[in-house]
Chains A and B, each alone.
Chain A
Amino acid sequence: MKIDLNSDLGESFGAWKMGDDAAMLDIVTSANIACGFHAGDPLVMHRTMSAAKERGVSIGAHPSFLDLWGFGRRSILGERPDDIEKMVIYQIGAAAALAQTLGHPLAHVKTHGTLGNMAMVDIDLARAVARAVRLFDRDLILVAMPGLALEKAGLEQGLRVAREIYADRTYDDDGNLTSRKIPGAVIEDVAVAVKRVLTMLDEQAITTVGGRTLPVTIDTICVHGDNAHAVAMASTLRTALETAGYTLEAFSKGGGPQN
Chain B
Amino acid sequence: MTLINCDMGESFGIWRLGDDSRIMPAIHIANVACGFHASDFNHMRATVRLAKQHSVKVGAHPSLPDRQGFGRREMKIGREELANCVIYQIGALKGFLEAEGMTLHHIKPHGSLFVMASCDPVIAHAICDAADVFKVPLIGLIETEHERVYRERGHAFIPEFYLDLDYSDEGRLIVTREHAAVDPDAAAERALRALREGLVRSVGGKDIRVGTETMCLHSDTPGADLIAAAVHKALGMDGRIHK
Contacts and interface: CB of A to CB of B under 8 A. Distances in A.
Contact of B220 (A15, A18, A71, A73): A15
Given A18-B15, A68-B13, A13 B68 contact: yes
Interface in B1-52: 10-17, 38, 40
Interface of B: prevailing SS? loop
B81 interface: no
Contacts of A73: 14
Interface string B49-76: 0000000000000000001111010000
B98 interface: no
Interface string A141-155: 000000000000000
Contact of B38 (A15, A17, A41, A71): A15
Interface residues of B, number: 18
B70 A14 contact: yes
Interface residues of A, number: 13
B68 A16 contact: no
Contacts of B178: 15
A197 B12 CA distance: 35
Interface string B190-222: 000000000000000000000000000000100
Interface of A: prevailing SS? loop
Interface string A31-60: 000000000010000000000000000000
A45 to B, nearest CB: 12
A41 B15 contact: no
Nearest to B13: A69
A158 interface: no
Residue with the greatest number of chain B CB neighbours at <10 A, chosen from A14, A18, A71: A14
A41 B15 CA distance: 14
B40 A16 contact: no
A16 B16 CA distance: 7
Residue with the greatest number of chain A CB neighbours at <10 A, chosen from B12, B38, B220: B12
Contact of A18 (B14, B40, B69): B14
A250 B178 CA distance: 35
A73 B10 CA distance: 21
The 4 closest A-B pairs by CB, nearest first: A16-B15, A15-B70, A71-B14, A14-B68
Interface of A: 12-18, 41, 68-71, 73
Given A14-B67, A15-B70, 20 more contacts: A13-B12, A13-B15, A13-B68, A14-B68, A14-B70, A15-B10, A15-B17, A15-B72, A15-B178, A15-B220, A16-B11, A16-B16, A16-B17, A17-B15, A41-B68, A68-B13, A69-B13, A69-B40, A71-B14, A73-B14
